[in-house]
Amino acid sequence: MLTLVSTPIGNLGDMPPRGVTALQDADLVLCEDTRVTRKLTTRFGIETRLMALHDHNEQQMVEGVLKRLLDGQKIALVSDAGMPLISDPGYRLVRAVIEAGLPLTGVPGANAALMALQLSGLPTDRFLFAGFPPNKATARQKWLASLADVPATLIFYESPNRLAAALADMAAVFGPRAAAVSRELTKQFEETRRGGLDTLARHYADQGAPKGEVCLCVAGPLPPEAVGEAEIDAALQQALETASVKVAAAEVAERLGLPKRSVYQRAITLRKGESTEGK
């Protein structure tokens, strides 16, 4: 059996008893970095053998791990911190285990994305974990544009050194949305800073890259009813004086933080109304 075991995401975190037992009972523990996981296993008196499985060797490791599982061994998979597979290695192995019809289970525990969502103060009823944005600005902006109309709170992981640039791109693509930046979750210097995307972008541009791992939550687009119809219509009518329906709708949607599709439909209705009045 392969068991996916969540580990503490901070040095003040703790392991649930079931997780400790799973690691103790395993014949082998697969981990991103044996040096990091050894600190954890030493802390809890776990003497199980460790073996590295990471992005660079996972594909080559799958066959050998499957053989061990077929021989009846119990294997555990952990990340350096948090939940395996969530922006961490293990997906290829899990798919192979499922396709081979071998047993698979997991031990729930800490997850930085969900904890950041809890602390963000943003809606939690619907959310999308999008992982790491692309490194380069052009690719990042295009990628963010594909998420602009998702009706949910968006959750990202980001490098501290790219945080200010990513926030600036999000402000440009998403418009004036609320957001929260969490870092060093469950650690001594845990911090969550909340504000508009543009305000947060300026803060981190001025203050420099923060220390520690970063998780970023961004509010989804406001539903049309959250902005008065009169305000939407006035903005569209002004934009339609000099732009096409498509361009006007895109400009207003970005400025008001609204879904592009709904604003586009409203722009079409207004343009048709103008045509009817002119007859």
Whether residue 118 sits in one domain with residue 181 = yes
Whether residue 180 sits in one domain with residue 151 = yes
Whether residue 51 sits in one domain with residue 34 = yes
121 has a pLDDT exceeding 80: yes
pLDDT tens-digit map of 158-207: 999 999 999 999 999 998 889 999 998 877 788 999 998 989 999 999 99
Please give the model's pTM, rounded to 2 decimal places. Answer: 0.75
7 DSSP 8-state letter: B
Which residue pairs, CB below 8 angstroms and at least 24 apart, start in 252-258?
Answer: 253/175, 253/221, 254/173, 254/174, 254/175, 255/175, 256/175, 256/222, 256/227, 256/231, 256/232, 257/174, 257/175, 257/176, 257/177, 257/221, 257/222, 257/227, 258/221, 258/222, 258/223, 258/224, 258/227, 258/232
277 has a pLDDT exceeding 70: no
Angle 32-115-24 from CA coordinates, rounded to 5°: 40
pLDDT value, residue 279: 46
Whether residue 13 sits in one domain with residue 77 = yes
The domain containing residue 250 runs over which residues?
224-277
Whether residue 138 sits in one domain with residue 82 = no
The tally of domains found in the chain comes to: 3
- Look at residues 66, 91, 107 and tell me which one is the last residue of a structural domain: 107
pLDDT tens-digit map of 58-87: 999 999 999 999 999 999 999 988 899 998
CA atoms within 13 A on the CB side of 16: 11
180 DSSP 8-state letter: E
We report the CATH number of the domain holding residue 153 as 3.30.950.10
Strands 28-31 and 50-52: parallel
Average pLDDT for the chain: 90
Whether residue 103 sits in one domain with residue 7 = yes
- Look at residues 49, 76, 107 and tell me which one is the last residue of a structural domain: 107
93 has a pLDDT exceeding 50: yes
- Look at residues 170, 197, 218 and tell me which one is the last residue of a structural domain: 218
pLDDT value, residue 276: 55
